[in-house]
A and B are shown apart, each in its own frame.
Chain A
Amino acid sequence: MIRGPRWKRWAFFYIPLTFYLIGLLFPFYWMLVTSFRPDNELYRSWRAATNTPLWTLNPTLEHFVYLFTNTVFGTWLYNTMFIAIMSTLISLFCGLLAGYALARLRFPMAGSLGTSIFVSYLVPPTLLFIPLAAVIRNFHLQDSPWALILTSPTFLIPFCTWLLMGYFKTIPRELEECARIDGATRLQAMIRIVFPIATPGILSAGIFAFTLSWNEFIYALVFLSSPQQKTVPVGVVSELIRGDVYFWGPLMAGALLGSVPVALIYSFFVEHYVTGLTGAVKG
């Protein structure tokens, strides 16, 4: 509990914390209120006396109806989900194998390979999106979910590898050696002994990869062009803004629905997410 006299607790703890919470969470509240506010209330001038921006007495579902009848929002959600799940699975598969090799096996260049995988994690997508678009065209992957399923792992694999490598290093070698003395091969020891123990690490890496992939924008913007193939962020940008006109109601409804899957997964696995995050940063 916070110590000290009551006024001190308020001045140095409760009030600052409240400010933080309001500042950090208000945009989501604003998204929520806007999604349910009818159009005739939405567009009232900032100084209008009739303005009650912080709540509405006439909640409506019109924006959600618009979203599902005038755009292919359902398809975007499905695309985003499919891409995020596939890239996460590919990245976990690669990250598990590579992480194990780097943490457990002795081979020449192990150190420099580990370093180059780490460095590739720090190559931001914005550095490579122009040549990558040409590469994607060469491989005939443009406007296909596979363009993203194969390119997202470039920033997800290094992250998973790095995180799992750290995890594998904490698992005592003796466990594996016991299994091998009992006749297990290296691979069997890896799959049946080491991987199960690393489950919390795998879970962290998976959740993190999923949220990062869901968040990816510039590749999706550059590689996907037809409305049927788009992901939620790109679909919302291209179909709910026409010229200078922003369809704010459906836009906020779309932003809200596009955030829900990530928020749900996050809320179930928040502890894993946080340990994964802090563990990965500390290297």
Chain B
Amino acid sequence: MADAPAREDIVTRLPAVRPGAFRRLLEHEQFLAALLLSPTLVILGLFIAYPFAKGIWLSVSSATVGNPGVFIGAENFVKVWNDSIFQKAAQNTVIYTAVATVFKLGLGMILALLLNHHFRGKRLIRASILLPFIIPTVLSTFAWKWMFDPTFSVINWTLYYFGLIAQRIPWLSDSNLALGSVIIVNVWRGMPFFAITLLAGLQTVNPELHEAAAMDGANGWQRFWRITWPLLLPVTMVVVLFSVIQTFADFQLVYVLTGGGPANSTHLFATYAYQIGVATGLLGEGAAISLAMFPILFVIVILQLWYIRRVEGA
């Protein structure tokens, strides 16, 4: 091994070990593991486990801002369940997640296949397509809000310039269009992540398989469905489940673009929980709305864990 001399050098420079009680304890695997894991467990305990328990308490209490509240059982959940805006938000969240994920996967897959070719400037293009994913979401979403502006919209200007529209399109202020517009921005932001990850998956596909299939007379389409897609399935599953969790719990995009409006037509679980829990100050009800996401997220996480185990076990 090439780095062997250097390693020996490091080791001989180590100070001589004097066996002390603490040192011997450090050699004990279980003690060392507990020690190394403690900072992580303290932070996750204080800022995830404890708030989670507190959230459950809030959701069954009448707490509002400045009022600790009393136990009221499932009242918040019943109220929320019968609330038409909550029902709308739940429906929106499902549509938002489903439609955006399908487009992110489809468009991301096509882009990954395009980038899987060799061409000049590949590295630069690969790096720049990931920009929507890394630029802070709120900031890039403002660019979209400005592009969607009903009167000064550059999108409307372009469509009008090419003669595609005669009337201006109120992208975010029409309740029929707003959810679609928000989904467009989500797809724009999340698709590069799909593309890059799928591209990494594509690069592990052995090109000889394709050549062999091509010699047997398979066309490009057949080669994709019979070879690439099955080999890519594990990566795809993980990316999709991961993205579903993120999209389902999304907040920033809608908060900036519409704030849940017009007429509550774009509320998601998170934006509605914010409006009720923070803006209105009904902590108990807001916590109940947030927690309503939990059962669904839980199922997705279990699915993901099960799938990772299965793939790793195989």
Residues of A within 8 A of B (CB): 1-2, 13, 16-17, 20-21, 23-25, 27-28, 30-31, 34, 42-47, 51, 53-54, 90, 93-95, 97-98, 100-102, 105-108, 110, 113, 115, 117-120, 122-135, 150-151, 153-154, 157-158, 161, 175, 178-179, 182-188, 192-193, 211, 214-215, 217-218, 221-222, 232-233, 236-237, 246, 248, 251-252, 254-255, 258-259, 262-263, 266-267, 270, 273-274, 277-278, 281-283
Contact = CB atoms under 8 A, between A and B. Distances in A.
A97 B58 contact: no
Contacts of B132: 24, 27
A44 B157 CA distance: 10
B313 interface: no
Contact of B278 (A106, A133, A183): A133
B39 A134 contact: no
Given A278-B197, A282-B238, A42 B152 contact: yes
A11 to B, nearest CB: 12
B43 A94 contact: yes
Contact of A94 (B40, B46, B156, B188): B40
Nearest to B250: A126
B16 interface: yes
A19 to B, nearest CB: 10
B17 A185 contact: yes
Given A34-B146, A122-B304, A126-B270, A262 B10 contact: no
Q: Which 7 A-B pairs have the closest CB atoms?
A: A124-B249, A131-B55, A126-B270, A278-B200, A233-B138, A255-B139, A101-B36
A151 B45 CA distance: 11
Given A130-B286, A131-B51, A278-B196, A182 B11 contact: yes
Contacts of B270: 124, 126, 218
A267 B16 CA distance: 44
B225 interface: no
Nearest to A283: B308
B283 A97 contact: no
B239 A115 contact: no
B278 A130 contact: yes
13 contacts: A30-B154, A106-B29, A124-B293, A128-B290, A157-B43, A179-B10, A182-B12, A188-B14, A255-B143, A258-B139, A259-B136, A259-B140, A282-B235
A16 B138 contact: no
Contacts of B145: 246
Nearest to B187: A23
B129 A161 contact: no
Given A131-B287, A185-B27, 14 more contacts: A34-B143, A46-B152, A51-B157, A122-B300, A134-B54, A151-B47, A157-B43, A161-B40, A179-B14, A184-B17, A233-B138, A246-B145, A259-B136, A259-B139
A47 B151 CA distance: 9
Chain A binding site: helix, strand, loop or mixed by DSSP? helix
B135 A259 contact: yes
Contact of B291 (A20, A98, A125, A127): A127
Question: How many B residues are at the interface, by size bracket?
Answer: 35 or more
A28 B128 CA distance: 11
Interface string B156-191: 110010000000100000000000000000001001
A199 B11 CA distance: 19
B235 A281 contact: yes
Interface in B1-51: 7-8, 10-12, 14, 16-17, 23, 26-27, 29-30, 32-34, 36-37, 39-40, 43-44, 46-48, 50-51
Interface string B193-234: 100110011000000000000000000000000000000001
Contacts of A126: 249-251, 269-270, 273, 290, 293
A157 B44 contact: yes
Contact of A46 (B156, B234, B294): B156
A101 B37 contact: yes
Nearest to B282: A130
A270 to B, nearest CB: 5
